[in-house]
Structure 1
Amino acid sequence: MSFLSSPWWLLFLLVVALLGAAYVYVQRMRRKRALRFANLDLLNTVAPSERNRWRHVPIALLLVSLILLTIAVAGPQADRRVPRNKATVILVIDVSRSMNATDVSPSRIRAAQESAKKFADELTDGINLGLISYAGTAATLVSPTPDHNATKTAVDKLRLDDKTATGEGIFAALQQIQTLNAVLGGDAAAPPARVVLLSDGKETVPDDPDDPRGAFTAARKAKEEKIPVSTISFGTMTGTVDLEGDQVPVPVDDESLRKIANLSGGDFFTAASLDELNKVYETLQEQIGFEKRRGDNSRPWLIAGTLLAVLSAFAALAINRRLP
């Protein structure tokens, strides 16, 4: 917390401290006078010790309320979590044959579809959301748009195909973001963007991820353009898929997806069930859909100070039979 508007008001805390010191001084002087001239037995009878313990509560509440109100007047500033009104998110979903594995119920692809639609439903309004699928090639199914229903409709139409060209999926996402940024007035005026890539396996096209069209090259390109790629490794190490009657192992490949995230400046997640995938998307929704902004934070201090001041008045009437 900082004080950017009127920090000089904090000097009033010295007045509050002086008021507290004055109260302590007056109480001590009053006690000295009482002890000097009063009969102690009679004094203890008319002013029982139980009352003495509570008679300082009103002034204590008053002093605390003045401290809180002084802080409020000084204009405290704090980071506040507010919804983004502008951002671009591209969902990139692997639709290779391995996504038909049933180690995730009902299957990797069905769970991915359900979770992606939930993510689109809960994403903050106003954020441009797009969808790209990829197997041997990448296909842009929805260009970035604030109409999240378009993405939900397209997710239901995902179809599996051969091979895995992860780099092509990332390059296609970057192209969509560049196109939108050009429409919005260039990179300088463009909102923040992020690629969210869900896959279960290693890239097969090309063979080398450092190839000019490979996944690692695409991740480095994303880093240059300041577009992080957050990757989700979806599935288990025991997954298999039926290919022409044969059960072919299709274990997830965390290593390559983690490296893509690291190279691009994004985050890496793993999910081995629909519930875990939903939690990953919830985390991403929090990261993407909201931002921290520095702003006025005086309201809670003002409310607390006012309530304590009122409580001080009631305490004074109830305990001391008079206002402080």
Structure 2
Amino acid sequence: MNWESPHRLWLLAGVVGLLAGYLFLQRRRSRYAVRFTNLRLLDRVAPNRPAWRRHVPAGLFLAMLSLLVVGFARPNADVRVPRERATVMVAVDVSTSMLATDVAPNRLAAAKSAAHGFVADLPKQFNVGLVAFAGNASVLVAPDTNRKALDAGIDRLAEGVTGTQGTAIGEAINTSLEGIRSLDAKAAETPPPSRIVLLSDGANTSGRDPETAANEAIEAGVPVDTISFGTVDGTINQGGGQPLRVPVDGDSLRAVAGVTGGAYHEAESSDELRKVYDNIGTSVGYRTERQDVSARFIGVGLLLGLAAAGGSMLWFSRLP
């Protein structure tokens, strides 16, 4: 933390002086009470009360003065603030392998639940869009601040919603970039600060090469955070009840995140996936600014002043 007017902090010396004077007077008062020999009269003029009560208003008052002095010195600190027009595209794999039950109740259901939580925790001014992909990719919800439409889109995520089988990671990235470019009339010339969050359980099996799509993301300045979701023990049921192994494969996702400047994550359970989304949510769409934070200290100081006044009136029927 820095100070715009650090010399004003010298006023804290006055607060220390008041504290020293208060302690001196309290000690002097106790000595006078000891020298007062008429104990019956002393009990009437100064009846026993909890000793701590008389110090509370004074302590709160001195704390208030300290915080007001700190605020008067105009402290400033680095503050994370949402970027204007910040856009996040959430791409979710809806291929058949996402029906594997190695994550209860299945990978896709767990992914939908975690996506709801991720979106709810993002700042309301963020534009968020939704892409579903399997053998190809499509925008289910265009990026917007309308969270109800986005939640409804997440609920519509289902195996086969894109109409083809496979895992098209490259198509998902390309479609997400198209969604970002369609945000508003300025997006083509002045792209919004954006990020793609892509979840899948397997390697690319169809569509354009993920490396080509990753290069497009690099040119657009859009990092791609990837999440590899599932375990090596995943299976789905084929016809006749024969299980088919669908182990998670994160190699393609790791490569995409690495070249685009995003982060690669692995999650093998619903809890791990929620933690991954929490980590991603703290990094997307923000910038760090140096801001005046004096209002924080002044506000808390005023609250302490009110508490000091309230305690003094309650216990002693007077203001401190």
What TM-score do you get using the length of structure 1 for normalisation?
0.71
After superposition, the Cα gap between the structure-2 partners of 1:262 and 1:66, relative to the gap in structure 1 and judged at 3 Å, is same
Alignment of 1:132-147 (within 5 A): 132-147=131-146
Secondary structure of residue in 2 paired with 1:180: coil
After superposition, the Cα gap between the structure-2 partners of 1:237 and 1:284, relative to the gap in structure 1 and judged at 3 Å, is same
After superposition, the Cα gap between the structure-2 partners of 1:309 and 1:134, relative to the gap in structure 1 and judged at 3 Å, is closer
Secondary structure of residue in 1 paired with 2:71: helix
After superposition, the Cα gap between the structure-2 partners of 1:60 and 1:87, relative to the gap in structure 1 and judged at 3 Å, is closer
After superposition, the Cα gap between the structure-2 partners of 1:313 and 1:109, relative to the gap in structure 1 and judged at 3 Å, is closer
After superposition, the Cα gap between the structure-2 partners of 1:168 and 1:307, relative to the gap in structure 1 and judged at 3 Å, is closer
Alignment of 1:79-228 (within 5 A): 79-80=78-79, 86-151=85-150, 152-153=152-153, 154-155=156-157, 158-159=161-162, 161-180=164-183, 183-184=186-187, 186-187=189-190, 190-205=191-206, 213-228=208-223
Can you list the C-alpha shifts for 1:44-80, whole angstroms capped at 9, x where unaligned? xx9xxxxxxx999998876655433211111122344
> Do residues 273 (structure 1) and 269 (structure 2) align?
yes
After superposition, the Cα gap between the structure-2 partners of 1:69 and 1:216, relative to the gap in structure 1 and judged at 3 Å, is same
Q: Which amino acid aligns with 1:217?
A: T
After superposition, the Cα gap between the structure-2 partners of 1:285 and 1:112, relative to the gap in structure 1 and judged at 3 Å, is same
Q: C-alpha distance in 1, partners of 2:270/2:107?
A: 9
Query: Mind listing any 5+ residue stretches in structure 1 that lack a counterpart?
Result: 31-40, 47-53, 207-212, 318-322
Q: C-alpha distance in 1, partners of 2:78/2:215?
A: 31
Q: Which amino acid aligns with 2:90?
A: L
Instruction: Tell me, yes or no, if the aligned pair for 1:144 and 1:176 is still in contact at 8 Å.
Output: yes
Identity of aligned residues (%): 42
Instruction: Tell me, yes or no, if the aligned pair for 2:182 and 2:188 is still in contact at 8 Å.
Output: no
Residues matched between the structures, number? 308
Q: Which residue in the other structure is 2:236 paired with?
A: 241
Q: How large is the RMSD of aligned CA atoms in angstroms?
A: 4.3
CA displacement at 1:145 relative to structure 2:
2.3
What TM-score do you get using the length of structure 2 for normalisation?
0.71
After superposition, the Cα gap between the structure-2 partners of 1:65 and 1:179, relative to the gap in structure 1 and judged at 3 Å, is closer
Secondary structure of residue in 1 paired with 2:8: helix
Instruction: Tell me, yes or no, if the aligned pair for 1:198 and 1:233 is still in contact at 8 Å.
Output: yes
Q: Which residue in the other structure is 2:49 paired with?
A: none
Q: C-alpha distance in 2, partners of 1:125/1:314?
A: 38
